[in-house]
């Protein structure tokens, strides 16, 4: 039985051949039915070259077992390596879709599609590289796109562990397996090879990044970056030529896409991105910044990653802790705006305060490569600030410095530290010379990142104190933080950042009901408008404006524009990410909300708020098991967070576990959320009396602040008239909860009612 000509109906053990799929250098591929597991699979029958040499076969099977350990949604699963009647074959997940080679068009793909594909392939490479697996044969034909749009990378048959010794003869034979098909047209692997592969040198993960750049170039420009009539011509072009810029091939592409692809195609591995994670982060930054198909300002590159830990207060006065925390906080905010850095969000970094973690623990928890830590000793008008930058992988100290300065010189100290960190990271990870002309570029970036912070030393001290109070989020502390910001602005009225922070504090007061809604929202809006008048490119100002537009103005398009602008200015801004995800959910764009909230969790992995927002998006998508998991993780991080126990109760109820739901509802600490959950759970359990009692108490105590939640209860109880009555009250009260009406499944009962469309239209949410 020839492995090259299996016919329909042929049996290989428990597998029946159903149809041929294709062929490659490794052998023929067929669709087959697995009678044992009653499923269809793909079978790849290995070519004779892979089976005739025992040593070669043993090595191949060892590598195949290693590849079978990869388990990722963007990687085709390799099930087994088998033999029947002398035929060696692989069994794999059957993908219903088409290869990327079928998607190459003369005009190139839309930017949104390029980003989706690029992120999917990069995610697959991240998973493989983390297991030490290098693909070595990445090309459009080895990437499938399923009917629902998911990217699947296949054919890791040429992959190897980075640590294994390389067999150059075998590898070159595999690489050159596909010849020229016709004059002037080259097929196979050669056009996607990196220079080190062409030269027969050792390969590593960066080799796959060169291939990824080649694939993205071809999909974007409709042509390959390196061409020639023969394999030798193409190889020469790969080694020698700089491809035509995509900005020339396709001028409508964003500048950042051209830059990312160009970086992947660098001749020397050290000049490329160093990990697939870096490429994925870059592409995701573009995606969440909403670049569309137009030219935009460059977004941060995600080359290096860093966490800034809260600085240790070594002053005699414990009250000076606001100063040490504030200094670290300001450095974090500045670094988050620097191109080329991915900075862990403040919420996650500051969870390590007072815990004395190891650098490795911080790096693993926050998924960063470096950590900045320091201490502050404040005495009178002077401070000694000691800082060090440490590499997570080996604990090596990359840089350290101690500053003895007067407090009125604190701005210069912050700039010195930030500049040193940026230059050290770029020198270490990118091979840039810290004393080269790039240093001037760093200074310019730092100046832009520090825009809007003010220059008055006493006002700066008051702002640091204000943040210390605002972080506590009690009514009294927020009021004290507002007073400190007002005092700071009296001394430094052009401090744009202080105006933005004041607007955020005013918005918090109004949203939670500590002050009258209309008056509080007006104060918040005026403060943020003033911030943006002083500094139009203040990311914090745009993020706060998005919140006002969501919770107070119900200006969804405005909120979308504000959050997008904030992310363009500071892609690592956790607040802007949450706002962008919230807008997508409000507008009913569930997939986009999921994508953004997942990025938010990656950026802020120790934040209960990030998991809460992810849980809401998963709930909207009715992915209840994942929503439950997100909620439980949020509760692990913040056991006392208001509403999380009630949300968990709802998810458990929807999953058919009412007794567990009731137990979680009763543990909810916030009275309003507890009554809401109990009214819904008791009703679902067939206990109308207990449900009525909880609902009566909810209405009696929270009619002025919880009309939207009361409407949800009535909808859950199958009472549409009462639900619409309370929604009308919520609308009249400008209840912030109304923003979530379209993105939640809680009102599905009302969707067929004519009143539903009218209400959505009044909210500006009609389709």
Which one of the listed residues 34, 123, 137, 492 is annotated catalytic?
137
Confidence of residue 720 (pLDDT cuts 50, 70, 90): very high
Q: Does the pLDDT value for residue 173 go beyond 80?
A: no
Write the CA distances from 545 to 445, 485, 500, 532, integer angstroms. 24, 18, 9, 9
Cβ neighbors of 154 (< 8 A, separation 6 or more) are 75, 76, 92, 95, 142, 143, 144
Q: Which pLDDT score is estimated for 445?
A: 66
Residue 213 has pLDDT above 50, yes or no: yes
Q: Are 68 and 79 in contact (CB under 8 A)?
A: yes
Own/partner contacts of 193-198, CB < 8 Å, gap of 24 or more, are: 193/235, 193/238, 194/238, 194/269, 195/238, 195/239, 195/267, 195/268, 196/269, 197/136, 198/235, 198/238, 198/239
3-state secondary structure of 604: coil
Q: What is the pLDDT of residue 766?
A: 86
Q: What mean pLDDT do residues 375-399 have?
A: 86
Q: What is the pLDDT of residue 438?
A: 46
Instruction: Please report the pLDDT score of residue 340 as a whole number.
Output: 61
Lowest mean pLDDT among 210-219, 351-360, 577-586: 351-360
- Domain 99-288: assigned CATH number: 1.10.510.10
Mean per-residue pLDDT of the chain? 83
* Catalytic-residue membership of 753: no
**Res 442: pLDDT:** 61
By CB neighbour count within 10 A (0-12 exposed, 13-18 middle, 19+ buried), where does 57 fall?
middle
**Helix (H, G, I), strand (E, B), or coil: what is residue 58?**
helix
Under CATH, which architecture does the 304-449 domain have? 3-Layer(aba) Sandwich (3.40)
pLDDT of residue 428: 63
Answer with the residue of higher pLDDT: 204 or 168: 204
Per-domain residue ranges of the chain = 11-92, 99-288, 304-449
Q: Would you tell me how many other CB atoms lie within 10 Å of the CB of residue 723?
A: 25
- The residue ranking higher by pLDDT, 49 or 668, is 668
Instruction: Write out pLDDT tens, residues 577-586.
Output: 889 999 999 9
* Tokens representing residue 698 in the block: 């909810």
> Is 757 buried (19+), middle (13-18) or exposed (0-12) by CB count in 10 A?
middle
- The pLDDT score that the predictor gives to residue 187 is 31
CATH topology of domain 11-92: Phosphorylase Kinase; domain 1 (3.30.200)
Most confident of the following: 405-419, 448-462, 493-507: 493-507
pLDDT for position 179: 31
Tell me, what's the pLDDT at 692? 97
SS3 call for 703: coil
Query: With contact defined as beta carbons under 8 Å apart, do 93 and 79 qualify?
Result: yes
Inter-CA distances, 214 with 128, 695, 736, Å: 19, 61, 48
Residue 452: helix, strand or coil by DSSP? coil
The whole-number pLDDT of residue 299 equals 32
Residue 368 has pLDDT above 80, yes or no: yes
Residue 405's pLDDT is 83
**In 3D, which of 251, 281, 250 has the Cα closest to residue 263?**
281
Query: Contact at 8 Å (CB) between 27 and 50?
Result: yes
Residue of 143, 148, 203 whose CA lies nearest to 175: 203
| pLDDT at 130 (0 to 100) | 83
Lowest-pLDDT range of 47-61, 469-483, 534-548: 47-61
DSSP class of 691: H
Residue 756 has pLDDT above 90, yes or no: yes
Q: pLDDT by residue (tens digit) across 39-79?
A: 899 888 877 766 677 776 776 676 677 777 777 888 888 88
The pLDDT assigned to 24 comes to 63
């Amino acid at each position: 039985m020839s492995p090259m000509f299996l016919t329909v109906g042929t049996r290989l053990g428990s597998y029946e051949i159903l149809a041929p799929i294709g062929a490659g250098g490794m052998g023929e591929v067929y669709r087959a039915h697995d009678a044992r597991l009653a499923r269809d699979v793909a079978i790849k029958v290995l070519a004779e070259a892979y089976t005739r040499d025992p040593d070669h076969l043993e090595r191949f099977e060892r590598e195949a077992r290693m590849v079978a350990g990869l388990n990722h949604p963007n990687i085709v699963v390799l099930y087994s390596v088998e033999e029947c009647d002398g035929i060696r074959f692989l069994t794999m997940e059957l993908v219903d879709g088409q290869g990327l080679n079928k998607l190459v068009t003369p005009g190139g793909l839309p930017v949104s599609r390029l980003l989706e594909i690029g992120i999917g392939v990069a995610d697959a490479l991240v998973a493989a590289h983390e297991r030490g697996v290098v693909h070595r044969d990445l090309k459009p034909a080895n990437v499938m796109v399923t009917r629902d749009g998911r990217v699947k990378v296949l054919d890791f048959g040429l992959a190897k562990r980075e640590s294994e010794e390389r067999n150059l003869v075998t590898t070159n034979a595999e690489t050159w397996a596909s010849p020229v098909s016709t004059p002037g047209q080259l097929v196979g692997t050669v056009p996607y090879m990196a220079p080190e592969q062409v030269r027969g040198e050792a390969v590593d993960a960066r080799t796959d990044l060169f291939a990824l750049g080649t694939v993205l170039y071809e999909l974007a420009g409709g042509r390959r970056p390196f061409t020639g009539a023969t394999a030798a011509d193409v190889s020469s072009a790969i080694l020698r030529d700089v491809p035509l810029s995509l900005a020339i091939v396709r001028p409508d592409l964003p500048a950042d896409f051209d830059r990312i692809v160009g970086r992947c195609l660098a001749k020397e591995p050290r000049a490329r991105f160093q990990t697939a994670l870096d490429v994925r982060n870059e592409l995701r930054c573009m995606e969440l910044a909403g670049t569309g198909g137009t030219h935009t300002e460059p977004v941060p590159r995600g080359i290096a990653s860093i966490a800034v830990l809260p600085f240790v207060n070594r002053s005699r006065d414990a009250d000076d802790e606001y100063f040490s925390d504030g200094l670290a906080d300001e450095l974090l905010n500045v670094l988050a705006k620097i191109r080329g850095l991915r900075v862990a969000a403040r919420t996650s970094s500051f969870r390590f305060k007072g815990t004395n973690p190891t650098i490795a623990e911080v790096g693993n928890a926050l998924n960063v490569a470096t950590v900045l830590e320091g201490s502050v000793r404040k005495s009178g008008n002077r401070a000694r600030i000691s800082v060090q930058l440490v590499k997570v992988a080996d604990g090596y100290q990359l840089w350290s410095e101690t500053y003895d300065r007067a407090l009125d010189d604190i701005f210069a100290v912050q700039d010195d530290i930030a500049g040193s960190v940026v230059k050290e990271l770029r020198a270490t990870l990118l091979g840039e010379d810290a004393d080269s002309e790039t240093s001037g570029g760093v200074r310019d970036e730092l100046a832009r990142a520090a825009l809007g912070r003010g220059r008055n030393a006493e006002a700066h001290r008051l702002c640091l104190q204000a943040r210390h109070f605002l972080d506590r989020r009690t009514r009294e502390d927020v009021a004290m933080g507002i007073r400190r910001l007002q005092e700071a602005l009296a001394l430094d009225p052009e401090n744009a950042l202080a105006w933005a922070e004041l607007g955020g504090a005013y918005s918090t007061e109004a949203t939670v009901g500590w002050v009258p809604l209309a008056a509080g929202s007006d104060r918040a809006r005026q403060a943020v408008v003033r911030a943006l008048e002083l500094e139009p490119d203040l990311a914090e100002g745009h993020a706060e404006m998005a919140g006002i537009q969501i919770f107070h103005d119900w200006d969804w398009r405005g909120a979308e524009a504000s959050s997008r602008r904030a992310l363009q200015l500071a892609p690592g801004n956790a607040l802007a990410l949450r706002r962008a995800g919230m807008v997508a959910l409000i507008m009913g764009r569930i997939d986009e909300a999921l994508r953004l909230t997942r990025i938010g969790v990656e950026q802020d992995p120790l934040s209960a708020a990030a998991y809460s927002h992810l849980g809401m998006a998963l709930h909207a998508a009715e992915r209840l098991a994942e929503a439950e998991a997100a909620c439980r993780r949020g509760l692990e991080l913040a056991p006392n967070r208001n509403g999380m126990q009630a949300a968990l109760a709802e998810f458990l109820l929807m999953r058919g576990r009412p007794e567990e739901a009731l137990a979680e509802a009763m543990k909810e600490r916030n009275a309003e959320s507890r009554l809401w959950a109990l009214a819904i759970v008791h009703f679902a359990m067939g206990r109308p009396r207990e449900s009525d009692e909880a609902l009566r108490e909810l209405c009696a105590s929270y009619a002025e602040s919880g009309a939207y939640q009361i409407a949800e209860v009535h909808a859950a109880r199958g009472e549409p008239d009462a639900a619409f009555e309370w929604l009308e009250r919520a609308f009249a009260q400008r209840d912030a909860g109304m923003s979530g009406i379209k993105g939640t499944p809680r009102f599905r009962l009302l969707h067929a009612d004519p009143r539903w469309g009218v209400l959505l239209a009044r909210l500006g949410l009609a389709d």
